[in-house]
Structure 1
C-alpha cells in the first residue's frame, strides 16, 4: 500500500515524512533534478508548524530560525501600536523566520534517512488517471515513466495545472493588480532583529506599504508595494533600487542577496479530495502572504492528509474518512482567503468606500487604542479550528466563541488544537501523535483496551471532574465528554474515525 506525494517543496516533504513515520511507503515525485536554494521565499513559520517538524526530528529549525515576538505597525512616520505574540505556554517560539531553502535542506536530510521514502527526482508529471489506483505519467531524461500508487497527495504548487486538470479542478479566484517587490538584504540594523515592522504610507514609499522581516545572519526581507507595470531591471540600472533601500537602512553598508517581483492572488479549488487524490498547499489554495498563511496552512494540510491516509491504509478507518480532509482543510482555506482578502482590501483599497475607511481608521489609530484592531496589516497565521467538522462531537457546555481577537487563542475544547502542555506521562501532543488518545480526569473508568492518560482537573485544559477528552492523531480535540458511558466514548471515537 503506497502513497505518491507529488512535489517536494516543504508541504510535500512534510507529507512524505509524516506518512513514512506512520509506516506508509511513499514515492516522492519531483520534476527538478536538484534543488536551487535561491532566495528566502516562504520565511515565516508559526509555532504549530515548527511543532509538526519537531515531531519528525527537525526540531533544529526552531533553534536556527530567528525568533520574533513583536509586530510593530506604523503610519507614515509614527508608530501606531505593537502587538506581543502569545507564548501559549509552549517551549516553541510563536514564530521564527528562516529561509525556505534551509527548511527544505533539513527535511531532505530526514527524507534521505527514511527507508520508506523512495525519491524520484527529474520526473515531470504529464498526466494522471485513477483506474482503481493512481497512475502518474512522467517524463524523465531516460524517457517516459509510469508510477502507480494507492493514493496521491498533490503538493505541486501554484503551477500544478497538469494535476489539477487531470482531477477536474482549477484555482478559481482573483489576482491583485498591484505588485510587490521583495528584496533580501544583509545589513546591520540594531534593534530590528526581533521585530516585524509594517509601514502604511511611509515617506519613502508614499501611498503604498512596506513590510520588513528580520532573518538569521543579519538578513532582512523587505517587501515594497509597487504599482502595476513596475520595472525592476530599470530601477536597478538607474540606481532607484539602491535609493529605495537606503531610505530604510540609511547610510550603512548593505548587500542585496536576492530580489524578485510578485503579484498576489486569492484562489481556491472547489474540492481538495478528487477520488484517490488529495490536493494540498498551493496546489489547492493561494492567498496573499500578509499573515504568513500560505506555507503554514500547507503543513496543516499535510498533517491532516497523512494521519487519515495512514488510518485508511492500515484498515483502521474506511475510505469515507478521506472526505473529512476536504471538509476540514477546505474550510481552513476559505477562512484564510477571507482573512487575507480583508487584509488586501485594507492594504490596496478597491473603491472610494474602502479608501475612506482605511484613511479614517489609520487617522483614529494614532490616538485611539480602540481603533488598533481595525488596522489590518495581516492577521498572523494560527491553527484552524475544526468545531464544525463531521469528526467533532460538540459539547454544549463548551460552545465555540468564534474567531478570537487577533493575537489570542480560543479556550480548549472540541475542534481546538490541544495546547502544548506536559503531564507526568509526557508531552500531550507527542502522545496524541501516536494514535487516538483519551485524557481522563482522576477516578474516571474507561473500557478496556483504550489508550488513556490521566490529566489533572483544571490546568491548561480547564478539565472538569468526571471528564474524558478524546484527542485525534493530529493533536486536535475531537470530543469532551462528561461522565460518559462506554457507548458514548465509543461513539465519539467512531465519529472521529469517520465511521459515523
Structure 2
C-alpha cells in the first residue's frame, strides 16, 4: 500500500513548527525542510506572545507550558519624557485561561515545539535541506533541495513556505513580488539581566526620554529577571564603536541606574514593511515573515505568522481529507493577505508617529504628546504600537454576513470586537457529556465545524456532509450558567456556526440557512435555502 503524500513545510522556525504540528493534529504526514544544519538558539528574538496565539499552541499541547514559563504582563504604560501619559489593560469578552500577553524567548518557544514534534510520528524534520526549486502539477508539489549528500527531490501534496524573512530566492521561484518600504532609523536591542522592582508585569514605552532625546525607548519584562530594552538609534549606528567608547554601558545605566546587570544578548536591526502580492500560488501557501514583514511595535510578526499557520493547516487538512474542494485554499490568500495588510497599516502608522518624515509630522507629534498629558482626545492619537490581535474575517468568502450584526470596524485600543460573523469567538468554559477533556469552547470548535443552538432554535438538517467532523450543541447544555450566551450576545432563536479555527462563520435565525452556511465556510457549492 502506497503511503499518503506528506505536506511539505519549508522552514523550521516557529511558524513552520506550528504548521507541522497542526497538520499532524489533523492526521496528515508532514516533512519539514530547513536550510540550517541545526537549530540556532541565539537571542530572545520574538518574545511577546498574544493570548489567542497561546490558545492555538494549546491545541498542540504547548500553549499552557509557554504561558507558564513566560512573564505575564497585563498593563501597557506610555510616557512622554518622564511623565506617564496613560496606561491600559486588555479586554476579554469570555474567560480565557491565558493572560493577554506572555513574554518568553523565541528560543524557548521553539524548544517546546521541538519536543512536541519529536513526540509526533507524523512529522519528519530534515535539516541541511536548502530549497533550490519548486515545481507543481495537478497532483502535487515537487521540491528540489541541496543537501550535504547532493541534490534530492521530495514530493508532497501541498507545501507551506515559511522559511523566514530572507526568502528572496523562494519568492522568486514562486513568481512573487515583495513590495514595501524600509525605515531609515535603526533600533538597538539589549536583553539585560537585572533587578527592576515593579517593572516585572508592565510594558513601558518612552517618547523622547532624557536618556534618548529625540527618539524612543521600549522596555519589556522577560523571564529570569531579564528585560528587553529597545532604543531607537540614528541611521548608521555603530554598536562596536558604542561598546568601545563605553557608551553602551552609559546608555544602559541611564535606564536602570547603578544596579548590577548582565547583557544576555544584543543586536541592531532595521525595520521593514513588506507584503507579497499573493499568499497562495497553486498548492503552495506562503506564511510568516516569508509573506509579510512589519515593524515589531505591537508584536504583530510571530503572532500573525502563527495565525497564518492555523489558517493554512485546517484548510489543507480539509482538502486532503476530502471535506472541501481545492478552491478552499484560495480563501487562505483572501483572509491572511487582508490580515497582513491590516498589520502593515497599523504598524506603518506607528512608525510614522515614531519616526516623523517631515518637520510638519514632527511638530504634529510633539503637539499630540504635549496635549496628551491632560487631554484624553490627544491620548487616543499617541501611537506607541497597537498590540497584536486576531484579524476579523468579516469580508471573507467563507463568512455569511448578518445584517443585524454589522462590523463596526477596528475596535478601541486594548478592546476586542463584539462577536459577529468573521470574528474569533470568545472563549468560555463548557461541559460536553462524556468528554471530560473538553473544558473550553475553543477546544470544542477546533475539532471541526461546530453548530451552537439557542434555546428556541430547532436542530438543523445537515445532509451530504459525509464524515465531515461536525457537531451540534445546544448552548444551555454546554453551559447552564448562561455565561456562553452572554459572552456571545446570543438570542434564544439563533444558530451560531463556528469554523475549525474558532472564528464565527455565521449567525442565523432559520435552520434552513445552516446547511448553506456550512457549505460556504468549506467553499463548497452553496445549496439554495428553502424559502421562508
TM-score (norm 2): 0.92
Aligned 1:88-487 pairs, distance under 5 A: 88=93, 89-132=95-138, 133-425=140-432, 426-443=439-456, 444-447=458-461, 451-456=471-476, 458-482=485-509, 484-486=510-512
Whole-angstrom distance in 2 between the partners of 1:186 and 1:36? 21
Deviations 1:63-98 (A, max 9, x none): 111000110101111111111122442110000000
- Out of 22, 32, 50, the residue aligned to residue 18 of structure 1 is 22
Whole-angstrom distance in 2 between the partners of 1:446 and 1:388? 25
Aligned 8 A contact 1:161 1:170 in 2: no
- Out of 78, 81, 96, the residue aligned to residue 83 of structure 2 is 78
Whole-angstrom distance in 1 between the partners of 2:219 and 2:129? 37
Residue of structure 2 equivalent to 1:8 = 12
Aligned 8 A contact 1:437 1:471 in 2: yes
Most deviating of 363-372 and 190-199:
363-372
Structure 1 runs (4+) greater than 6 angstroms displaced: none
- Out of 493, 496, 499, the residue aligned to residue 518 of structure 2 is 493
Deviations 1:398-438 (A, max 9, x none): 11111111100111110000101122324111111110010
Whole-angstrom distance in 1 between the partners of 2:499 and 2:429? 17
Aligned 8 A contact 1:423 1:455 in 2: no
Aligned 8 A contact 1:72 1:83 in 2: yes
Two-structure CA RMSD over aligned residues (Å): 1.1
**Deviation for aligned residue 1:466:** 1.2
**Deviation for aligned residue 1:499:** 1.4
Residue of structure 2 equivalent to 1:56 = 60
Number of aligned positions between the proteins: 498
Whole-angstrom distance in 2 between the partners of 1:470 and 1:372? 38
Deviations 1:271-310 (A, max 9, x none): 0001111000000000000000000000000000000000
Flag structure 2 segments of 5+ consecutive residues without an equivalent: 433-438, 464-469, 477-481, 526-532
Whole-angstrom distance in 1 between the partners of 2:408 and 2:92? 21
Deviations 1:77-133 (A, max 9, x none): 111111112244211000000000000000000000110111111111112111332
Residue of structure 1 equivalent to 2:466 = none
Aligned 8 A contact 1:127 1:162 in 2: no
Aligned 8 A contact 2:34 2:128 in 1: yes
Whole-angstrom distance in 2 between the partners of 1:399 and 1:77? 42
Aligned 1:38-53 pairs, distance under 5 A: 38-53=42-57
Aligned 8 A contact 2:222 2:228 in 1: yes
Whole-angstrom distance in 2 between the partners of 1:422 and 1:436? 18
Aligned 8 A contact 2:452 2:496 in 1: yes
